[in-house]
Structure 1
Amino acid sequence: MQTIERTVAASPQTVWELWTTPQGISRWWAPDGFRTDVDRLDLTEGGELVYTMTAEAPEQVAFLEQNGLPLSTESRKVFTELAEPHRLAYRSLIDFVPDHEPYEHLTIVELEPEGDGTRVTMRVEPLHDEVWTERLIAGRTNELENLERLVARP
């Protein structure tokens, strides 16, 4: 597992709500240059989150087109653990990699109070190769930076 950590200026409950509601997810989940639209959310263990991520920035659109990837991708996650407001885990279906069989990938998120904020610890399983794992880590790091910026706004 690889670990990404950030301390954000919000309570664990606020971070939980941003991570587990359609309105919250759509405000920060996507990496820079993308938009996230939540299609379905069943916040129960075994429940599913389905969302569509769409490239909007010209450089992201160009990257996807050059690599033969679609501009919009539907993603599915199944919640494996929910302990509000401190811990959640989910398995993501990785079915968007060209010439690779679909597989599942685990993410574990822990939210702990730290000072006036929350320490967010995200642990992710590596993907099928180093290049895709680096892309995953870069994307998740950018998402946490987006979360940090969102809660820092006055």
Structure 2
Amino acid sequence: MASTGRDAMTQSGVADREIVLSRVIDAPRELVFEAFTEVRHLSRWWGPEGFSTTTRSLDFRVGGEWDFVMHGPDGTDYPEWITWTEIIAPERIAMLHGESRGDPNAFESVLTFQPDGEATRIEMRTVFPTQELRQEAVEKYHAIEGGQQTLGNLAAYVTELAEQGGEG
């Protein structure tokens, strides 16, 4: 029972620093997972509505990095960097995401991919280093709406791929 209490304390300890988003996508889990693995996929859906993404480099493996720029609809460029800390295909991806390698404000995200009948339930759980950084992401960068839009873009992209037989 002690571990349950500790787990509960750990969970409540991050609640004020966390954003959790989920969506059911009408495509097989393997295809939804694959959309995270290659530039040809990521460049088609990554980011909120109106954004585009330019990849500088991508090495999808544990310890690998994705160095990219998100281009906002107003012309603002946002340098971004991700390193993958865990990959369990096609179930789970964990990553550290910041503006660049060594960013002290980088946040951790865990994506899980669960079968839901013929569809896939994706959950994105993001934990920020501080409550203040989470609040800034929500208020200044519209992280919740942007995250929902990004998952919507992913859903539209992989649903189209699935209808085409998985070719991308």
- Most deviating of 32-41 and 126-135: 126-135
Structure index of larger Rg: 2
- For 2:52 and 2:118, the matched residues in 1 are separated by 29
Within the alignment, does 1:81 sit opposite 2:86 as a pair? yes
Unaligned ranges ≥5, structure 1: 62-69, 96-100
More strand, by proportion: 1
Q: Which residue of 1 aligns with 2:44?
A: 27
Q: CA RMSD in A?
A: 1.9
- Quote the sequence identity (%): 28
SS in 2 for 1:37: strand
**Counterpart contact for 1:8–1:119, Cα < 8 Å:** yes
Q: Which residue of 2 aligns with 1:149?
A: 156
- For 2:30 and 2:143, the matched residues in 1 are separated by 26
**Counterpart contact for 1:2–1:123, Cα < 8 Å:** yes
- The alignment's TM-score, normalised by the length of structure 1, stands at 0.81
Q: How many residues align?
A: 137
CA offsets, 1:91-121, max 9 Å, x none? 01146xxxxx842100100001111111001
For residues 129 and 6 of structure 1, do their structure 2 counterparts lie closer, same or farther at Cα, with a shift above 3 Å needed?
A: closer
Give 1:30-49 correspondences, 5 Å limit: 30-49=47-66
**Counterpart contact for 1:94–1:102, Cα < 8 Å:** no
Amino acid in the other structure paired with 1:106: E
Unaligned ranges ≥5, structure 2: 1-17, 164-168
